């Protein structure tokens, strides 16, 4: 389902906000978010649960906290998924769609994967104990001036910078960078992938183009914990949200599909997750061919 917003413009306008005006959401904004949360879906066949909670609520006698990272926000969004294959991908996809919708309404957000009191937020939001709880985001009205903490964090992760095309997108052999000219109609969706947010601004996605598909990989070294791997997969879900929603806005046809990667010997740091089959008719769920 395409979001009912100007996708490319919204992605270009989106930026992480950690400093907010100290006022609650307007009723109309909160109701619009709740309605959007009901309508969201993902193309991976995984149920994704979204939550909204006010910071003033208490869990086990303690106020909800973000370790001083977030200033002024009184409302938070959250996401959880069952612990199964493709679930982190689906969580990243749907939650980013919600964040883009909030951006379109003039609201500020920022992905938080580690810098929040997970136990208390899980209790306040009613997250099932057997589900993954990968992230939350404050949602509110951006303050005119950023806090010192926010300015330091943005500087540390080079928040405004992104890797160039030749570091992210490749032709079939992973040796030849993919140019915008070679990408053709898909240059716009790939550019929106390049602009996607990610944990520590690591931009772990790599994309390989073959004759009739784009293949998406997570780039990380061996030895990561399961939790760190899930964060990389959530990041890929964010990138796939940008890719898919932009492709829909551009009128491009295709569908997500798991395709065997037998045509290439992959570097050990690249981990295959998903492909976009160009021109394939959209189905209810992805077709598993692995």
**What domains are defined for the chain?**
7-153 (3.40.109.10), 165-288 (3.40.109.30)
Note the pLDDT of residue 58.
45
Please report the beta strands in 123-240, taking only residues with DSSP state E, as ranges in sequence order. 131-140, 169-170, 205-210, 213-219
Q: Percentage of the chain with pLDDT > 90? A: 74
Rounded to 5°, angle at Cα 128 from 127 and 134: 55
Q: Percentage of the chain with pLDDT > 70? A: 89
d(Cα 63, Cα 55) in Å, to the nearest integer? 7
Q: pLDDT (tens digit, 9 = 90+) per residue, 79-111?
A: 999 999 999 999 999 999 999 999 999 999 999
Longest dimension (CA), the chain: 58
Q: pLDDT (tens digit, 9 = 90+) per residue, 141-199?
A: 999 877 766 676 666 666 567 899 999 999 998 989 999 999 999 999 999 999 999 99
d(Cα 118, Cα 257) in Å, to the nearest integer? 33
d(Cα 57, Cα 64) in Å, to the nearest integer? 7
98: number of Cβ within 10 Å: 23
Residue 51 has pLDDT above 60, yes or no: yes
148: number of Cβ within 10 Å: 10
Token pair belonging to 9: 């413009």
Which strands sit side by side in the sheet containing 75-82, from one edge to the other?
A: 49-54, 75-82, 131-140, 108-109
**Residue 55: pLDDT band by 50, 70, 90 thresholds?**
confident
Residue 44 has pLDDT above 80, yes or no: yes
Note the pLDDT of residue 150.
67
DSSP 42: -
150: number of Cβ within 10 Å: 20
d(Cα 227, Cα 134) in Å, to the nearest integer? 9
């Amino acid at each position: 389902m395409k979001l009912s917003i100007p996708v490319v413009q919204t992605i270009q306008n989106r930026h992480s906000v950690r400093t907010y005006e100290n006022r609650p959401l307007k009723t109309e904004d909160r109701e619009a978010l709740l309605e959007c949360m009901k309508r969201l879906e993902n193309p991976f066949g995984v149920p994704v649960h979204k939550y909204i909670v006010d910071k003033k609520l208490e869990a086990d006698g303690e106020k909800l906290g973000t370790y001083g990272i977030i200033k002024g926000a009184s409302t938070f969004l959250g996401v959880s998924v069952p612990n199964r294959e493709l679930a982190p991908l689906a969580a990243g996809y749907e939650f980013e769609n919600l964040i883009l919708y909030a951006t379109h309404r003039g609201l500020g957000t920022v992905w938080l994967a580690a810098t929040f009191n997970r136990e208390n937020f899980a209790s306040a939001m009613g997250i099932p104990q057997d589900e993954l709880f990968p992230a939350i985001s404050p949602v509110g009205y951006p303050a005119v001036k950023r806090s010192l903490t926010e300015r330091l964090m943005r500087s540390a992760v080079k928040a405004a910078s992104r890797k160039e095309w030749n570091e992210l997108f490749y032709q079939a052999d992973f040796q030849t960078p993919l140019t915008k000219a070679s990408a053709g109609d898909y240059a716009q969706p790939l550019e929106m992938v390049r602009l996607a947010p990610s944990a520590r601004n690591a931009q772990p996605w790599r994309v390989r183009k073959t004759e009739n598909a784009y293949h998406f990989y997570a780039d990380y070294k061996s030895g990561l914990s399961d939790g760190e791997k899930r964060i990389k997969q959530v990041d890929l879900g964010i990138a796939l949200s940008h890719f898919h929603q932009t492709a829909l806005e551009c009128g491009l046809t295709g569908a997500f599909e798991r395709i065997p990667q037998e045509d290439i010997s992959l570097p050990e740091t690249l981990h295959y997750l998903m492909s976009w089959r160009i021109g394939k008719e959209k189905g209810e769920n992805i077709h598993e061919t692995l």
